[in-house]
Amino acid sequence: MKIKEIIVVEGKDDTTAIKRAVNADTIETNGSAINRETIEKIKLAAETRGVIVLTDPDFPGQKIRQTILEHVPSCKHAFIEKAEAIHKLGKGVGVEHASPEVIRQALKDAQMMSEAPKEEITQEDLLDAGLVGGEGSKERRERLGKLLKIGYTNGKQLHKRLMIFEITKEQFAHAIEEMRKEDQHE
């Protein structure tokens, strides 16, 4: 599978994992302190070939993603679930631990994030759906992130992530309905 866009990853091990999964070029940020030179490379890549950001599903990965979004809003973003990025022996979380199939699916599901998001889904909607402030809300957010392909967020980040990806009320309602159906079958 050949990917036209350049994939932004955190380091060499991530590049190795990407190359096992797909035929693609990468830009490595070398950690969460992205320098000006790396931002300029990402800007050029976005203008010429397009960019997909694929960072680790952890706090430093989120920080890198946010920095890139601020400087290069035209990038697509791909997410790997934390459970699919854990080292076999529990020694860390990262893209480098994900299987080629998981990486290919994440890249296929990559989405644009919006610079100036509009609010379609309210905090009240999140409360009503049991996604914040209650027992089991973390697990529900994990499932929602997987269904909408927007990655996991904590309760404070969820509303913003839904807006950034311009998730509509209909998409949100459909995902909540899917979760309810899954709950009934368990």
Q: Where are the domains of the chain?
A: 6-112, 123-185
Looking at residue 114, its pLDDT comes to 64
pLDDT tens track for 160-181? 889 888 888 999 999 999 998 8
Q: Which fold has domain 6-112?
A: Dna Topoisomerase Vi A Subunit; Chain: A, domain 2 (3.40.1360)
Q: What is the pLDDT of residue 161?
A: 87
Mean pLDDT by 10 residues, the chain (186 residues): 94 95 95 89 95 93 90 92 82 90 93 70 91 90 91 86 87 93 81
| Calpha distance 115→112 (Å, rounded) | 10
